[in-house]
C-alpha cells in the first residue's frame, strides 16, 4: 500500500518530468530579416517561476515542416509554446498544420469570433462600412479565429485577437509584444502547480587557462557521484577589453540542479579542480 508521503513524491516526480519547449515559426527568422526575441523571453518567464526550457526549434513557413514538427511534439508529454503563423495571410499555416498534425480540422471558435468582431467594431471609428462584419475583408479576418476542434483560446491583451491552446501546446502570434504576456498568462493559469517544485539553482567559477580535456574526467566523476547534478563547462578564448581573468583563455566551470544536492557536489568540484593544479576565481560566494 502506498502511503500519502510516497504518493506525493510520485506526483511531484511526475510533474517535474514535464519538459518545456519552444517552436519559432517564420521564414523571416531563418533568413535573418528579423531577430528572434521569443527564446530569451520564454527562458526569462520560466526562470522566474522556477522552471527551465528543455529545447527550442526554428521552423520555416513550410506546411510539411510544421506538421512533422507538431506530430513529434504532440506525441510527447511536453508543454510547448509555438510562435508565428497564426494570422490570416497566405504564409500563415500554423492553425491548419496543427489540426492536420492532430488528425482533425479547424473551425471558427465562437469566443474567438466574438473577440474578433469586437476588435473590428473598435477599429471602425464609427464608419458603418468598416464595421460591417459581412464585408469580404472582415469575413477574412475571422479566419484568425479558426482553430483545431477542441481548442481553448489564449487571451491577447494587446489587440484582443486570441491565440489558442490544445494538448499542452500554446499557439501565439509572432509579435513579441503580444506573445510575451500571452506566454505568462498560460504559465500562470495552467501550470502554476509546476512552479518552484524542483528548487533548482546554479553555481560556477572561472578556471584561468583551463583545458576541457583535462577537466572532463573530473566533470564525469562529479555527475556519477552526485545523481541529479549536471556539470557544465563554458570555454572562452578571452577578451582583451574585459581585463582580469577574462582577458585570457579561460573556462567557466559549474554545476546546476536541485539546491539540496549542490553543496556536496560544489565542494567536490572545487577540490577536484584545485587538485589538477588550477586556480579558481569565484563568480559567487562558495
Grid coordinates representing 150 are: 477542441
Q: How many residues does the chain have?
A: 286
Residue 7 has a pLDDT of: 40
For residues 182-201, one letter each, b for 16 or more C-beta atoms within 10 angstroms of the residue's C-beta and e for the rest, the string is bbbbbbeeebeebeebbebe
Question: What would the mean pLDDT of 191-210 be, rounded to a whole number?
Answer: 90
192-201, 224-233, 265-274: least confident range:
192-201
Q: What's the pLDDT score for residue 125? A: 86
pLDDT at 231 over 50: yes
Handedness of CA 38, 230, 12, 198 (dihedral sign): negative
Q: Does domain 200-282 have CATH number 3.30.70.360?
A: yes
Residues 17-33 have pLDDT tens digits of: 689 999 999 999 999 99
226 vs 239: CA distance, rounded Å: 34
Give Cα 124 to chain centroid, integer Å.
36
* Section 25-46 average pLDDT: 97
Place 15 in a pLDDT band, splitting at 50, 70 and 90: low
If pLDDT is split at 50, 70 and 90, which confidence band does 13 have? very low
Q: How confident is the model at residue 284 (pLDDT cuts 50, 70, 90)?
A: low
Q: What does the mean pLDDT of the chain come to?
A: 91
In this predicted structure, what is the pLDDT of residue 12? 44
Distance of CA 25 to the CA centre of its chain: 13
Q: Is the pLDDT confidence value at 159 over 50?
A: yes
Mean pLDDT of 195-206: 87
Instruction: Assess whether pLDDT exceeds 70 at residue 165.
Output: yes
Domain spans of the chain, in order of start: 14-194, 200-282
* pLDDT tens-digit series, residues 64-98: 999 999 999 999 989 999 999 999 999 999 999 99
**Cα dihedral: 172, 68, 103, 108 (round 10):** 30
Is the pLDDT reported for residue 260 higher than 90?
no
Work out the number of other CB atoms within 10 angstroms of the CB of residue 33: 9
Out of 3.40.50.150, 3.40.50.720, 3.40.190.10, 3.40.980.10, select the CATH number for domain 14-194: 3.40.980.10
Amino acid at each position: 500500500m502506498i502511503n500519502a508521503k510516497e504518493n506525493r513524491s510520485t506526483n511531484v516526480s511526475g510533474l517535474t518530468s514535464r519538459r518545456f519547449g519552444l517552436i519559432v515559426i517564420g521564414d523571416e527568422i531563418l533568413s535573418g530579416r528579423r531577430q528572434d526575441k521569443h527564446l530569451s523571453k520564454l527562458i526569462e518567464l520560466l526562470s522566474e517561476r522556477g522552471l527551465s526550457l528543455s529545447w527550442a526549434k526554428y521552423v520555416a513557413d513550410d506546411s510539411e515542416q510544421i506538421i512533422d514538427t507538431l506530430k513529434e511534439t504532440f506525441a510527447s508529454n511536453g508543454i510547448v509554446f509555438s510562435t508565428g503563423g497564426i494570422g490570416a495571410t497566405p504564409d500563415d499555416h500554423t492553425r491548419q498544420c496543427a489540426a492536420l498534425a492532430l488528425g482533425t480540422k479547424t473551425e471558427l471558435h465562437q469566443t474567438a469570433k466574438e473577440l474578433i468582431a469586437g476588435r473590428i467594431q473598435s477599429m471602425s471609428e464609427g464608419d458603418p462600412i468598416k464595421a460591417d462584419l459581412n464585408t469580404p475583408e472582415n469575413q477574412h479576418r475571422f479566419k484568425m479565429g479558426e482553430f483545431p476542434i477542441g481548442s481553448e483560446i489564449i487571451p491577447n491583451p494587446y489587440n484582443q485577437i486570441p491565440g489558442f491552446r490544445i494538448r499542452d501546446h500554446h499557439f501565439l502570434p509572432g509579435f513579441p509584444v503580444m506573445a510575451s504576456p500571452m506566454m505568462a498568462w498560460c504559465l500562470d493559469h495552467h501550470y502554476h502547480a509546476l512552479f518552484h517544485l524542483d528548487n533548482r539553482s546554479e553555481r560556477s567559477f572561472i578556471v584561468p587557462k583551463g583545458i576541457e580535456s583535462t577537466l572532463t574526467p573530473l566533470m564525469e566523476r562529479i555527475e556519477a557521484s552526485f545523481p541529479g547534478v549536471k556539470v557544465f563547462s563554458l570555454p572562452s578564448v578571452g577578451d582583451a577589453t574585459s581585463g582580469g581573468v577574462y582577458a585570457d583563455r579561460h573556462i567557466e566551470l559549474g554545476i546546476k540542479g536541485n539546491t539540496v544536492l549542490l553543496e556536496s557536489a560544489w565542494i567536490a568540484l572545487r577540490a577536484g579542480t584545485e587538485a589538477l593544479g588550477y586556480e579558481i576565481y569565484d563568480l559567487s560566494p562558495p
